[in-house]
């Protein structure tokens, strides 16, 4: 059985996972996911249905993304390079609504972050080339694609570097206060 360390964040439901890495002269081995262990950390069963993989160059910012319907919980890890990964709580009634948490994920530190449904998610790349893999617990629905601007002053994310490249969609993303009518995420205690 793998050993995973769950690291709580200041935002309920959002947590970092540090897997046990077994290394020797050959390299290393680690389990990156075990359903029984993940479900225990999450506090209830999570059924991932889709795996995604992206590759980006230094200074690319992807986010802050969510789905307005068919929300997705995501388990994110970096397999090459490093990113600063951010999640923003969009759950109405949450004591941390509109707050963000960021963590560096890298191929070197092996950390993962679980971003539950009801959050916007994004990252900025910190190295020349980055590959990110993540599991999602709902299928991508392009008609439900939503985003908020990465530099919304009311959220106040402290990105470690300034982005060099954004998609057109992300460059034109609205502020959180301009998205309130399309959000239906609810905080559940």
Confirm whether 65 is a catalytic residue: yes
- Residue 15, beta-bridge partner list: 8, 114
Structure tokens at 68: 């307005």
Residue with tokens 């060099």: 164
Given CA atoms 54, 72, 107, 148 in this order, what sign does their dihedral have?
positive
**Which run of H or of E encompasses 39?**
helix 35-42
Rounded CA separation 73/56 (Å) = 22
Q: Which of 53, 65, 97, 114 is the catalytic position?
A: 65
Confirm whether 114 is a catalytic residue: no
Q: Which of 101, 134, 139, 140 is the catalytic position?
A: 134
Tell me if 125 sits within 8 A of 69, measured CB to CB.
no
Query: How far, rounded to the nearest angstrom, does the alpha carbon of residue 170 sit from its chain's CA centroid?
Result: 16
Q: What DSSP designation does 165 have?
A: B
Q: Which residues are catalytic?
A: 65, 134
């Amino acid at each position: 059985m793998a050993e995973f360390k769950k690291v709580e964040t200041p935002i309920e439901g959002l947590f970092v996972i540090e897997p046990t890495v077994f290394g020797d002269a050959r390299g290393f081995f680690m389990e990156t996911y075990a359903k029984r262990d993940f479900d225990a950390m999450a506090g209830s069963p999570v059924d991932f249905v889709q795996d995604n993989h992206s590759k980006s160059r230094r200074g690319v910012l992807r986010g802050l993304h969510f789905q307005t319907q068919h929300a997705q919980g995501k388990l994110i890890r970096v397999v090459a390079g490093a990113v600063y990964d951010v999640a923003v709580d969009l759950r109405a009634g949450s004591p941390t609504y509109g707050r963000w948490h960021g963590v560096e994920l890298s191929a070197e530190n092996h950390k993962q972050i679980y971003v539950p449904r009801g959050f916007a998610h994004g990252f900025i790349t910190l190295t020349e080339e980055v590959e990110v893999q993540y599991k999602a617990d709902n299928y991508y629905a392009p008609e439900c694609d939503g985003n908020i601007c990465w530099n919304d002053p009311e959220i106040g994310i402290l990105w470690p570097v300034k982005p060099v490249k954004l998609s057109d969609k992300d460059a034109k993303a609205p502020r959180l206060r301009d998205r309130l009518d399309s959000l239906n995420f609810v905080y559940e205690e």
